[in-house]
């Protein structure tokens, strides 16, 4: 029997007969016709990317009670004018700096927290 004859015979089967044929082939050869799940392979790669993260975003979550000190710290860190820094602090949560090195992000976080702000690194 040639491949074309096999395909012709399969083409003439009903859906129910084809389903039974697939089940019989799975049992005979010890295989599964189910599609492989690619999501499981992607999870370790995501964890490795998180471990190698070199750029961080400094997010101001809340200015706290001493908003003036936080505005001063934001101005010092970003070089923004008074109006822009106040708008950023009033608009919290907001990104103070994005894509900075870990050391710079930690330093900025420390300064903002010392001024009374709640800060998060992403």
Query: pLDDT digit string (tens) for 80-89?
Result: 888 888 888 8
What is residue 87's DSSP assignment?
H
Listed by start position, the domains of the chain span 54-121
Torsion sign (Cα): 24, 25, 30, 35 = negative
Which tokens is 104 given?
Answer: 């710079």
Distance (Å) of CA 65 to CA 21, 56, 107, 115, 117: 72, 26, 21, 9, 8
Contacts of 115 (CB under 8 A, 6+ apart): 64, 66, 69, 70, 72, 73
Query: pLDDT digit string (tens) for 56-96?
Result: 888 888 888 888 888 898 898 888 888 888 888 888 788 88
How is domain 54-121 classified at the architecture level of CATH?
2-Layer Sandwich (3.30)
| Structure confidence at residue 2 as a pLDDT band (50, 70, 90) | very high
């Amino acid at each position: 029997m040639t491949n074309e004859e096999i395909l012709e015979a399969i083409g003439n089967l009903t859906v129910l007969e084809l389903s039974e044929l697939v089940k019989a082939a799975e049992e005979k050869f010890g295989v599964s016709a189910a599609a492989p799940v690619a999501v499981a392979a992607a999870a370790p790669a995501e964890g490795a990317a998180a471990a190698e993260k070199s750029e961080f975003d400094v997010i101001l979550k809340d200015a706290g009670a001493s908003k003036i000190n936080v505005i001063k710290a934001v101005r010092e860190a970003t070089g923004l004018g008074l109006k822009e820094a106040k708008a950023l602090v009033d608009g919290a949560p907001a990104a103070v700096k994005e894509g900075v090195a870990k050391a710079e992000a930690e330093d900025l976080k420390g300064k903002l927290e010392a001024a009374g702000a709640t800060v998060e690194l992403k």
